[in-house]
Amino acid sequence: MSQSLTRYAWLSIGAAVVTIGLKGGAYLLTGSMGLLSDALESTVNLLAAIVALIVLNVAVRPPDEEHQFGHNKAEFFSSGFEGALILVAAASIIVTSVNRLLNLQDIEQAGIGVVISLGASLINLFVARVLLRASRQHNSITLEADSHHLMTDVWTSVGVIIGVAAVAITKLAWLDPVIAFLVALNIIWTGVNLVRRSLLGLMDTSISGDENQKVLAVLEQYKQQEGIDWHAVRTRSAGSRSFISLHLLVPDQWTVRQGHALAERIEQDIHAAVPTSTVFTHVEPAGDPVSWQDEQLDRAAAQNA
């Protein structure tokens, strides 16, 4: 698993190095502020890919004494760090754009700059699609964040290319820093969304609505077939893994063996519906009033209220 995921991080690192060289060269040839902003974002891509490589190696470590639920949450640190880097890059672009707007300069060799930037964008587009497909296959927020960032880079490059071409055609030098400023605003939006999602993950956000419906469908099926009931379903996401806990209320006359066998079947079916999940069940007698009083997270506090 580790080797499978880290190879995508290495692919992202390689693409970032190549695109930094291409976009940096395009900026040196043209002096375009837009192309410089594009190159700066590719530098962020490189830093983010390096962090992703480190985090993916941590996330796949097996549970240990200090981290008994595994290390999957490390992926949220990677996506959060990437979001923060995006915001730093955006701030840098805005400052540089304002300075250039106050001190306008003509763009040179625009045609060559556009061709080079277009080549770099095609590289990012290819890598972004590969990473997105891998993130869905392995349920990795780290690869997903890297993929979305690269796609933002692609659209940023498209905007910059249009800006450079517009300056070359219209001879309006102010278009270049203005477009760079608009690019920075787009980058800020992406960075904020990544940071927000990472913070939600670190706060044990529930699994997606679609996955939750799959869990409830399994439980409802057993309720109809076996005459059991359930409550206190709680879920949380931890990187590529999901944790699901619930209480099963079974007939009073059932033996421990019967209740355990049912719980095993339900856990297997929920795992089949949500493959990344680890399921915990607690079997209770439906006829005991106490069984219906522990739906809250803090059972003792609820009983004393």
Weakest mean pLDDT among 135-144, 154-163, 265-274: 154-163
Higher local confidence (pLDDT), 117 or 18 = 18
21/90 Cα distance (integer angstroms): 20
- The per-residue pLDDT for 33 is 64
1 has a pLDDT exceeding 60: no
pTM assigned to the model:
0.63
249 pLDDT higher than 90 = yes
What distance in Å separates the CA atoms of residue 7 and residue 257, rounded to the nearest whole number?
A: 46
What kind and span of H or E run contains 283?
Answer: strand 277-285
- What pLDDT is recorded for position 152? 74
Task: Choose between 32 and 39: higher pLDDT.
Answer: 39
Alpha helices by DSSP H, the chain: 2-30, 33-59, 74-102, 110-138, 141-170, 175-202, 209-226, 256-273, 299-304
Is the Cβ–Cβ distance between 72 and 138 less than 8 Å? no
Of 132, 128, 139, 148, nearest in space to 59 by CA = 139
Burial code (b: 16+ CB inside 10 Å, e: under 16) for 206-236 equals ebeeebbebbeebbeebeeebebbbebeebb
Averaged over 38-57, what is the pLDDT? 79
Q: How confident is the model over 241-265, as a mean pLDDT?
A: 92
Contact 234, 244 (CB under 8 A): yes
What average pLDDT does the segment 24-51 reach?
76
Q: How many CA atoms lie within 13 A of 249 on its CB side?
A: 17
pLDDT tens digits, one per residue of 175-231: 777 877 887 787 788 788 878 877 877 777 888 888 899 999 999 999 999 889 999
Beta carbons within 10 angstroms of residue 119's beta carbon: 15
**pLDDT attached to residue 302:** 47
Please check the confidence at residue 139 and state whether its pLDDT lies above 80: no
At residue 287, the pLDDT reads 87
Q: Which helix (H) or strand (E) holds 254?
A: none
Q: Is the pLDDT of residue 280 over 80?
A: yes
Fill in the amino acid letter for 170.
T
- Decide the pairing of beta strands 229-238 and 241-250: antiparallel
Flag whether pLDDT at 300 surpasses 60.
no
